[in-house]
Structure 1
Amino acid sequence: MTKFNYKMIVLMFVISILLLYLIGCNKNEESSGEIKIFEINNTEEILGKKNEQDVQIKKHFMILNPPKDLKKLKEIIEKYSKEHPVDEEKKDIEGKNRIFDMSFYRESKELPRDWEPDEGYMNTDRLEHHKNDLIAYIVWSDAKPQKEYNVYDKNKEGQINKRMRFMEDQLLSDK
């Protein structure tokens, strides 16, 4: 009888180890350290009136596992913007000066990867409430096609530890 109990205990232990191993193999991107960028759902904005000369196109993205090195962060968002050209997407807006604004946010407790804006009756949650997690943005226009890059190292509370500003590849400020 004790042999049977011993075998059951060993079998349960082996099954537990296998389950833990399988759970560990299914780690998400956060724990694997892979950098991933994707557009945040339902956040694109197109601002401008019919009779105005300018129209602003704002797109918002999440970066999972952003690098701490600000030059590396700039390179990553620069590569992403070249691989996903917003100005090519919005060719249908003709006859106006298009101003493009791409904002990049880090994942946080307040801004999880599946976050979407909430315009509920008693509660609103918009991206402007999450400026603490804004870590980079790119701005350019049809009139000024040179891209301006701003990248930030922020602490958990959103205070800026360091900021770098580039015009294309030229470093303009390093604070």
Structure 2
Amino acid sequence: MIKAGSKVLALIVGALVIPLSLIGCTKSDGSGGRTEIVEIENTAQVFGRQGEEVTVKRHYMILNPPEDLMELKELVEGYSKDHPIEGEVEATEGRNRVFDVSFYRESEDLPRGWQPDEGYLNTDRLEHHKNDLVASVSWSDTDPKKNYDVYDKSKEGKIVKRMRFIEDQLVE
């Protein structure tokens, strides 16, 4: 009788412990569910140095972006204030600097740690991942008011809702 009871107890414990231990082994997203912004390495661009205008582009990934578009705008605005890029390229007299900062969501097509690929037969650049673009900020030396665009997109990248701001003013 004791042997049968211990077998049943072992089965019950095994039925609980094994699934719980497997759940503990599942892949973690590394951010613990909190929102985090990381720069997508090897994607920064500065071009137009010979012309009248210099364009500076930066690309970031938002891990666990907020679903609320006002919260997303505030997140992007706060990040832009805390991480200014204006000092990265000196203003030359008579030349305008244009700044364009893009924020992407993590996805199956654009995973964390993604890097551009300029392979011979296959290329994978950020312009191929516009479906995952969820926010952008642009401004220039001649028009220092920051323009914010934030998007709610379906998993397939279709725009469900879009909000545009000039500084804190909602446009449209």
Fold equivalence (TM over 0.5): yes
| In 2: Cα distance, 1:156 partner to 1:17 partner | 30
Alignment of 1:8-157 (within 5 A): 13=14, 16=18, 19-20=21-22, 22-23=24-25, 27-29=28-30, 32-50=32-50, 52-88=51-87, 90-95=88-93, 96-157=95-156
The two structures have a TM-score, normalised by structure 1, of: 0.83
Q: Following TM superposition, by how much is the alpha carbon of 1:18 offset from its aligned partner in structure 2, in angstroms? A: 7.1
Q: Deviations over 1:71-110 (max 9, x none)?
A: 110000000001110113x143533311000000111111
Gaps of 5+ in 2: none
| In 2: Cα distance, 1:18 partner to 1:34 partner | 23
Q: Following TM superposition, by how much is the alpha carbon of 1:23 offset from its aligned partner in structure 2, in angstroms? A: 3.2
Q: Following TM superposition, by how much is the alpha carbon of 1:16 offset from its aligned partner in structure 2, in angstroms? A: 4.0
1:29–1:64 CA contact under 8 A, matched in 2: no
| In 2: Cα distance, 1:151 partner to 1:70 partner | 6
Q: Deviations over 1:5-37 (max 9, x none)?
A: 95xx57x9487467446536x83246x321111
| In 1: Cα distance, 2:117 partner to 2:89 partner | 29
| In 1: Cα distance, 2:137 partner to 2:67 partner | 18
* Count of aligned pairs between the two proteins: 168
CA RMSD of superposed structures (Å): 2.7
Matched position secondary structure for 1:55 = strand
| In 2: Cα distance, 1:140 partner to 1:120 partner | 33
The two structures have a TM-score, normalised by structure 2, of: 0.85
Percent identity over the alignment? 52
Distance 1:21 1:122, change over 3 A: closer
